[in-house]
Amino acid sequence: MNQKLTKSEKISYSLAGLGQNMIYNFSATYIMIFYTDMMKLLPAAVGTLMLVARVWDAINDPIMGSIVDNTRTRWGKLRPYLFAVPIPMATFTILTFFTPDVAMSTRLLYAYVTYIAWGMIFTVSDVPYWGLSAAMTQDLKERMSLVSIARIFCNLGMAIAIVVPPLIIASFGGNATGYLVSAIFMSVIGGSLFFLAFFKTKERVSDHQEKTSLIQNFKIAKKNKPLLLLQSSRMLGAFRMGLGAAGTYFAKYNLGNEAYFSLLGGILIASMIVAMMITPWFLKYFTKKQVYMGSLVFGAIAHLLMFLIGYQNMVLVFFFLFLAGMSMGANDVITYALVGDSVDYLEFYTKRRYEGVCFSLHTFTTKLQTAFATFAIGLVLTYVGFIENTAQSAQALSGIFWLISLLPAVASILSLIPMFFYHFTSKQHEDMLQQLHG
């Protein structure tokens, strides 16, 4: 229980998350507009690609979770994967932003192969990385501190991924070369930092139980009611994950300059980081569940007010985006802490640690969120008559604005529903840990 972490370990773990998020958020934010505007793929085709890739990717998460929980090495069950994955992850990120000079049907096939491979490799990085946060310590304050710092650094990585690429892309005249150079920049730096998750961390919480099959792990996961409710909440709020991708279209077409996304993204990330820094203070007075639900209500109000006021007044748009970012930042920190808590919950009932299973279910949901969000963006763009690289109709501009205002507001409200049935309290958690460890 008294498993303190050094500052060096917390910073190293967090820097690894910064590197990983440079790569992930660069791809998540720019891949759709790269496919439609640079590779000239149809929006509906891209939306379908995103859905297929993310659903397939999501299927791999529980498989990876099972593999992780059955791994036994002298470096632990999580860290070995964090050593193996950075170079392949960087390589396939670069390949996804390469534009082959071939027929459109072949370009689409190339996009499917490289993007699906990229997603599978990212799964190998994501499941053990976040599982490691629960394996480094069971001290609840230390874990909350670790997750809070890591999420701040992860969002700094997101900020770099959002703010820097438009500047690089603009310097190359907005063409495909700019995207490729951005991918190389993000991949080399991000992949290098991710190695720290292996070299500078330690797994302190472990077990030596017999191995279990994938089917057994599915049955075990069904016992984790707090985790299932949390992930149900996240799935109902899936469209909140589309804000970054939608923002690239909003900047380019509604504001007339995609470089504006650096400003929009910078505002959003800055507000998320502010929220992450003050969230531990709120936890002195409110439970994790209350902060989680409060962040959703706050976000719904911010997005709805943005929709009602419109985007003619950009000062107000920036203001409401700042508020929406604070909602996302607080929600983000609490979500990862709640997943870590669910590992302890499951251990209490099974007498075994299942970091891989629990965090693979979390990343599984994240992939599905992204899949449905990007698929919905493609459908909305098609419905409102979007045509790439041209002046858009009034209907198309309104539809793009819905993507960052009305739809995230509805998603935030829907996300509240499962949490009314979430009853795993801090007192229950502490009692369980006392019974487990005396």
User: At residue 108, does pLDDT exceed 80?
Assistant: yes
User: At residue 171, does pLDDT exceed 80?
Assistant: yes
How many whole angstroms separate alpha carbon 111 and alpha carbon 76? Answer: 35
How many whole angstroms separate alpha carbon 333 and alpha carbon 141? Answer: 13
Q: What is the mean pLDDT of residues 176-184?
A: 95
CB-based contacts of 386, cutoff 8 Å, min separation 6: 43, 249, 392, 396, 399, 400
How many whole angstroms separate alpha carbon 20 and alpha carbon 277? Answer: 20
Closest CA to 18 of 161, 137, 207: 161
Q: Is 359 exposed, middle or buried (0-12, 13-18, 19+ CB in 10 A)?
A: buried
SS3 at position 73: coil
Place of tokens 């693979």: 360
pLDDT in tens, 322-362: 999 999 999 988 998 899 899 889 888 888 778 777 888 88
Closest CA to 187 of 434, 66, 391, 21: 21
CB 194 within 8 A of CB 89: yes
- Cα angle 293, 297, 298; round to 5: 115
> Would you place residue 320 in the very low, low, confident or very high pLDDT band (cuts 50, 70, 90)?
very high
Place of tokens 């409102």: 384
CB 427 within 8 A of CB 396: no
How many whole angstroms separate alpha carbon 377 and alpha carbon 58? Answer: 19
User: At residue 109, does pLDDT exceed 80?
Assistant: yes
> Would you place residue 182 in the very low, low, confident or very high pLDDT band (cuts 50, 70, 90)?
very high
Phi-psi map region of 207: left, alpha, beta (phi>0 left; psi -120 to 50 alpha): beta
How many whole angstroms separate alpha carbon 339 and alpha carbon 337? Answer: 5
| Domain boundaries of the chain, sorted by first residue | 7-199+215-437
SS3 at position 27: helix
Residue 131 Cα to chain centre, angstroms: 15
pLDDT in tens, 22-42: 999 899 889 988 998 999 998
> Would you place residue 208 in the very low, low, confident or very high pLDDT band (cuts 50, 70, 90)?
low
pLDDT in tens, 46-64: 888 988 887 787 678 778 8
State which fold the 7-199+215-437 domain adopts. Growth Hormone; Chain: A; (1.20.1250)
How many whole angstroms separate alpha carbon 197 and alpha carbon 82? Answer: 6
CB 165 within 8 A of CB 33: no
| DSSP string for 210-226 | PP--HHHHHHHHTT-HH
User: At residue 210, does pLDDT exceed 70?
Assistant: no
> Would you place residue 214 in the very low, low, confident or very high pLDDT band (cuts 50, 70, 90)?
low
Arithmetic mean of pLDDT over the chain: 88
pLDDT of residue 211: 65
Amino acid at 368: L
pLDDT in tens, 382-415: 899 988 778 889 999 999 999 999 999 999 999 9
pLDDT of residue 438: 58
- Can you read off the two tokens belonging to residue 339? 């997943």
CA distance between the termini of the chain: 9
pTM above 0.75, yes or no: no
How many whole angstroms separate alpha carbon 361 and alpha carbon 238? Answer: 15
pLDDT of residue 335: 93
Q: What is the mean pLDDT of residues 60-89?
A: 86
Closest CA to 384 of 256, 249, 241, 255: 249
pLDDT of residue 352: 79
